[in-house]
Amino acid sequence: MTRSVAVIVGSLAKDSINRKLAHGLAKLAPASLKFDFVDMDMPLYNLDLETSTPPPAWTALREKVKAADAVLFVTPEYNRSMSGTMKNAIDVASRPWGKNVLDKKPAAAISASVGAMGGFGANHHLRQSVSVLNVAMMPSPEAFIHVTPTFFAADGSVADEKAAPYLKKIMEAFAAWIEQQLK
C-alpha cells in the first residue's frame, strides 16, 4: 500500500542542506512512500490572522498535512534549536485550538547540519514541541546528520558511502513505523 508523507523542511534557503537531504531521503525511501513537500514561505502564526480566510499558505500547509498519512520533519539547527521556520510550521499546523492536523500522525524527525553533532539540539527540541500535539513520533533510529561538502551527488542523491545505507535504513524504519501506527 502506498502511503503519503507530508515533508516539512525547516529552511527557506535556496541551497538548504536540509532541503537537499529531504529530497535525498525521498530517493532512498521504499517505493511504498510518496512524498509531498510543503511550501514553507508563510507568515508567522498570529491568532489575529485566524479568520474565516486565514493566509493561503497556512491553508495549504494544513490541507497537505491533513491529507497525508504521515509527516517527515527535516530541520536545520539554529542556536541549538530548530529554526523559526520549523516552529512556525508546527504552530500553524496545530492551530486553531481543536483543529490540530498533526494529531495522531506518524512522524519522523531528521536533522542535518555542517556541525559535527548533526543538529542534535534541533532534533530534540522539535520532538519536545510535537510531543504535546499527539504526534506519533518514531522513537528510533534517530538521525542527526553531519553534512560534508561531498555529501550530495550532482543529481541530489546522497553520495556519502556511510550515510546512504544508514539513511536508507531510517526510511525503511519510517515506512514500517507508519504501517504500525496506522493499523
> Domain locations in the chain?
3-181
Which residue reads 520549523 in cell numbers?
Answer: 86
Pick the CATH number of 3-181 from 3.40.50.300, 3.40.50.360, 1.10.357.10, 3.30.1950.10: 3.40.50.360
- What's the pLDDT band for 161 if we cut at 50, 70, 90? very high
Predicted local confidence at residue 83, as pLDDT: 96
Predicted local confidence at residue 153, as pLDDT: 95
14-20: long-range contacts, CB 8 A cutoff, minimum separation 24:
16/76, 17/76, 17/112, 17/113, 17/114, 17/147, 17/151, 17/152, 18/74, 18/75, 18/76, 18/111, 18/112, 19/74, 20/152, 20/156
Tell me the pLDDT tens digit for each residue of 109-132.
Answer: 999 999 988 899 999 999 999 999
Predicted local confidence at residue 168, as pLDDT: 98
pTM for the model stands at 0.97
Q: Which of 35, 111, 115, 41 is nearest to 70 (CA)?
A: 35
Cell numbers describing residue 157: 542523491
- Residues 127-149, mean pLDDT to the nearest whole number: 96
Query: What are the φ/ψ torsions at residue 145 (nearest 5 degrees)?
Result: -100, 120
Tell me the pLDDT tens digit for each residue of 19-70.
Answer: 999 999 999 999 999 999 999 999 999 999 999 999 999 999 999 999 999 9
| Three-state helix/strand/coil letters over the chain | CCEEEEEEECCCCCCCHHHHHHHHHHHHCCCCEEEEECCCCCCCCCHHHCCCCCCHHHHHHHHHHHHCCEEEEEECCECCECCHHHHHHHHHHHCCCCCCCCCCCEEEEEEEECCCCCCHHHHHHHHHHHHCCCCEECCCCCEEEECCCCCECCCCCECCCCHHHHHHHHHHHHHHHHHHHCC
**What are the angstrom distances between the C-alpha of 85 and each of 45, 74, 89, 179?**
10, 11, 6, 29
